[in-house]
Amino acid sequence: MSPASVNAHLAFTGYLGRRLHMGVCGSVAAYKALDLLRRFKDTGADTGVTLTDSACQFITPLSFEALGASPVYTGMYPVGDDVFGHLTPGDACHAFLIAPATAATLARLACGLADDMLSCQALAFEGPLVIAPAMNPRMWNNPATQENWARLKQRGHVAVEPGCGRMACMDVGQGRLADLDTIFLYTLRAMTPQDMTGQQVMVTLGPTREQWDGVRFWSNPSSGVMGACFAVAAWLRGAQVHAVCGPATPWLPADITRHDVTGAAQMYQAAADLWPRMDTGIFTAAVADFSPEPFGAEKFKKSGTETLSIRFTPNTDILKTLGTAKRENQRIVGFAAETGNLHENAVGKLRRKNADMIVGNIVGTPESGFQSATNKVFVADKTGRTEEWPVQPKTEVAWRILDWLLQM
């Protein structure tokens, strides 16, 4: 996978007009909040920050201001005219993230205390509260901390469990701040209108590998980024997502049910098992149409061989087979990766596969297709509507396709 596409499925940018507030507590992990701030600013969201007194011992308010956070709060009492700063996040923000959250802050939140600016703001905030703790494993495992954590989860707050590993103090166990991708996505989901709540969505993504001998296989350069964009976008919007993933496809958040497969037969079986209970199927995977007749488990030796002929047998056409079995209330989006005659081939595939929508693109260019962070697509649906979109991030393509589906 090219460096440009490694995290391309997480680079959503459609949050202009949304607002987030971040709380930062006194932990060695406080510096990681700067990376989170950068990522939220990249989405287009306006972001404010509140640092506790302890957090200011680890990192300065100026660091957040320099990265564009506004406003930035510290002490309990206001400086200047902002006498209602403890209420501002509750008046203006779509989500509130506390990362890292210390044991003291968990206790304040659990007990409803409001003796510093951050706890006041959290207590007055009626929207989604995302909490990502970080502390020493012994502090995390203390019964008092666990009781506070359980109470916060019972209240419906978005609880991002700390990770395991070696701490700054060299202790080993659970207590590390969770992976930033995880915190970022759970917070983004809290900021996103849940217009796909209750929907079951299946996405196939990546390549398949059709084994020939003990070390060789037939495949293609698909990275799975386009499908991963769909899986994450649908999950951000509230859907329950099943991702049928070919080899070497991108990381996905734990709430997306991942079904890892290797060959086309495995992908077909996994998709066929899931399909009867799905509302929508999005088939982005670059499935091998044919498989080589296997040589066997041993490595083929070229000694004395001047030429080589390999016979291929057809694989099940997953999109066509499941499209034929589609119920009236199910929707299918297929992809057409082409090297020419894009419009004609895409429209033809739409009819042949009994799909509701086909997204076609030309592969083999740096800005479109395999292993690219962007795509340039032609879209056609069963009503006869067609559109051609310019080069844009694959996250934006996925988001716009989901918008289109919701309108059909």
Q: Which residues contact 356 (CB under 8 A, 6 or more apart)?
A: 331, 332, 333, 381, 382, 405, 408
Q: How far apart are the first and last CA of the chain?
A: 34
289 annotated among ligand-binding-site residues: yes
Taking the C-alpha atoms of residue 191 and residue 45, their distance in angstroms, rounded to an integer, is: 9
349 annotated among ligand-binding-site residues: yes
Q: Which residues contact 278 (CB under 8 A, 6 or more apart)?
A: 200, 201, 202, 242, 330
State whether residue 1 is helix, strand or coil: coil
382 annotated among ligand-binding-site residues: no
Taking the C-alpha atoms of residue 292 and residue 98, their distance in angstroms, rounded to an integer, is: 53
Q: Which residues contact 205 (CB under 8 A, 6 or more apart)?
A: 222, 224, 226, 227, 228, 230, 231, 243, 244, 245, 246, 249, 284, 285
Taking the C-alpha atoms of residue 239 and residue 149, their distance in angstroms, rounded to an integer, is: 26
Output the furthest CA–CA distance in the chain (Å, rounded): 87
Q: Catalytic residue numbers? A: 169
- Burial class of residue 205 (count of CB atoms within 10 Å of its CB; 0-12, 13-18, 19+): buried
State whether residue 103 is helix, strand or coil: helix
353 annotated among ligand-binding-site residues: yes
State whether residue 51 is helix, strand or coil: strand
Query: By the 8 A CB rule, do 345 and 351 touch?
Result: no
Query: By the 8 A CB rule, do 338 and 345 touch?
Result: yes
Q: Tokens for 146, please give them.
A: 């666990």
125 annotated among ligand-binding-site residues: no
- The verdict on whether omega for the bond into residue 71 sits within 30 degrees of 0, i.e. cis, is yes
State whether residue 70 is helix, strand or coil: coil
Distances (CA, A) of 243 to 76, 121, 184, 231, 260: 46, 38, 20, 7, 8
Residue (of 83, 84, 97) closest to 32 by Cα position? 97
- Residues of the binding site: 289, 299, 335, 349, 353
- Residues of the binding site for CTP: 289, 299, 335, 349, 353
